[in-house]
Chains A and B, each alone.
Chain A
Amino acid sequence: AQSVTQPDIHITVSEGASLELRCNYSYGATPYLFWYVQSPGQGLQLLLKYFSGDTLVQGIKGFEAEFKRSQSSFNLRKPSVHWSDAAEYFCAVGGYSGGYQKVTFGTGTKLQVIP
């Protein structure tokens, strides 16, 4: 069974500082990996996705993520955080189960940005 672990429930960073959110997955084959962001009171928005190829993936809003197969990780990074990045971030793994797609989400990391 596929699973996702986001070990950090809550992270606080200063505006302008760099950010790294951790994500570890479990899946038997090459996974499809996603990061979503949820702003307060909103639905989830897709930030970026990895299917294959280059292991460093660029997304929207200046985010990037790196797929590391040896570590079963897909960490999200941003060089300089803005106050508007305060939100909850979800990592997700997609794969096949009985021939159809199944997407499993992590429990989320809430990001607080301080001035």
Chain B
Amino acid sequence: EAQVTQNPRYLITVTGKKLTVTCSQNMNHEYMSWYRQDPGLGLRQIYYSMNVEVTDKGDVPEGYKVSRKEKRNFPLILESPSPNQTSLYFCASSLEGIGPPYGYTFGSGTRLTVV
């Protein structure tokens, strides 16, 4: 089944404790992206990657890191989480990075709480 898999689904952590949210897709998509969803703000892009070893900042990158060492994986790293990073996070992938956006396939989300 074609899908984007995120782990974990739920995470509660303490301020300053490094964490990684994993994302993997099995569709050979070139383009992957991380979004955070907050009430009243919709989805805001954190980082995206057009292909292996090619990443760039989205609209709200502060406090986050990403890497794209393999085509299928795009982990989101919070080096020192803070309470304002409490949010619902989505990973998404798409067929093409350069060219018309074909529409995303989204993961099921990771609800992160930083206390």
Distance from A35 Cβ to chain B, minimum over Cβ atoms (Å):
10
Q: Is the CB of A43 within 8 A of B108?
A: yes
Q: Is the CB of B42 within 8 A of A106?
A: yes
Measured between alpha carbons, how far is A41 from B88 in the docked complex, in Å?
10
Measured between alpha carbons, how far is A101 from B45 in the docked complex, in Å?
12
- Give the contacts of B50-96 with A (CB-CB under 8 A): 50, 90, 92, 94, 96
Distance from B37 Cβ to chain A, minimum over Cβ atoms (Å):
8
Chain A interface residue count, Cβ-Cβ cutoff 8 angstroms: 24
Which A residue's beta carbon lies closest to that of B58?
Answer: A102
Range, interface on chain B: 20 to 34
Residue B34 is within 8 A (CB to CB) of chain A in the complex: no
Q: How many A-B residue pairs have CB under 8 A?
A: 60
Q: Is the CB of B104 within 8 A of A103?
A: yes
Identify whether the interface residues of A are mostly helix, strand, loop, or mixed: strand
Known: A42-B108, A43-B106, A101-B94. A94 touches B101 (CB 8 A): yes
Q: 27 A-B residue contacts at CB 8 Å?
A: A32-B100, A32-B101, A34-B103, A41-B109, A43-B90, A43-B107, A44-B90, A44-B92, A44-B106, A46-B103, A46-B104, A46-B105, A49-B102, A49-B103, A51-B100, A90-B42, A95-B101, A101-B94, A101-B96, A101-B99, A101-B100, A101-B101, A105-B35, A105-B43, A105-B44, A107-B41, A108-B42
With A101-B94, A101-B101 known, 4 other A-B pairs at CB within 8 A are A34-B103, A36-B104, A101-B99, A108-B42
In order of increasing CB-CB distance, the 3 nearest A-B pairs are A94-B101, A43-B106, A107-B42
